[in-house]
Amino acid sequence: MMTFNLKLALCLIGTFIIGNASAQSLRERTTAPPSAEFHFARLVYENAPNSRRALRGWGNAWSTDYAEAEYHLTKGIQRLTSVDSEDVAYDGTGGRLVTLDNDAVFDYPWLYAVEVGQWLLSDGEASLLREYLDRGGFLMVDDFWGNAEWHTFTASMHRVFPDREIVEIPDSHPIMRAHFDIKERTQIPGARGPRLGLSPRWRAIFDDNGRVMVAINFNMDMGDAWEHADDPGYPAEMTGLAYRFAMNYIVYSMTH
């Protein structure tokens, strides 16, 4: 497993999304302590060797929608909830990039991981993530599709919790009404539109007391809905639904 410093250097060299961010602001996103009740904390991970990004040289799956998704969602949090949240700029300043090789993850009650159908967790990362979740943390995973990506996701997730099942979230669960009363289960599409033949699934891993530790958004793309919140070409009703789910997950994570 590469050290985080090497991962970060490769990201700076190989991906345009980091852009011209200064070294100081980048360090702040990875090492700064919390300055608000809530930060958009994004999980940094390595691509699985057999993932399409790794095979095609497309860069880091963890960075998809960064940092426009953070920018728009935090605006929504401030507008639609009373949670004290830190603004995130278009270059990512104000958000947090979290790795699973140090205890900084415990500073954040809510953690977001995107394109987890392409992730790979080491034994050490899986162990720290398990400790984080067992101690009250909440992980939201998003933007992965179809059986092949499901199997890649669960291969690492089963290293985190080999003894816990992944189950459907029922309409009656408190997470569905933690802030908004949500009954709609429509596929939240990516910017290219719905993926026909793939049914959306809202799944979870629960602790022994019924608390959601991992919220699994499968066959949908909430990150794109956040990212394109100001794009007239993206359906506003889908951005609204993605915002409502995010607010519920965030409020739930901070009250359970």
Look at residue 31 and tell me if it is in a domain: no
pTM score > 0.85 for this model?
A: yes
C-alpha 96/C-alpha 42 separation (Å) is 6
| Confidence (pLDDT) at 122 | 97
Q: Would residue 30 count as lying in a domain?
A: no
| Predicted confidence (pLDDT) per residue in 141-183, tens digit | 999 999 999 999 999 999 999 999 999 999 999 999 999 999 9
Is 9 inside any structural domain?
Answer: no
Q: What is the mean pLDDT of the chain?
A: 90
Burial classification of residue 234, based on how many CB atoms lie within 10 Å of its CB (0-12 exposed, 13-18 middle, 19 or more buried): middle
Residue 242 lies in a domain: yes
CATH of the domain at 79: 3.40.50.12140
What pLDDT score was predicted for residue 32? 81
Closest CA to 205 of 169, 172, 151, 152: 169
In a domain, 213, yes or no: yes
What does the alpha-carbon distance between residue 74 and residue 70 come to, in Å, rounded to a whole number?
A: 6
Residue 240 lies in a domain: yes
**In a domain? residue 23:** no
State which residues form the domain around 52.
37-255
Integer-rounded Cα Rg, in Å, for the chain is 17
Number of domains the chain is built from: 1
| pLDDT surpassing 80 at residue 139 | yes
For residues 57 and 144, the model is more confident at 144
Condensed to tens digits (0 to 9), the pLDDT of residues 230-255 reads 999 999 999 999 999 999 999 999 99
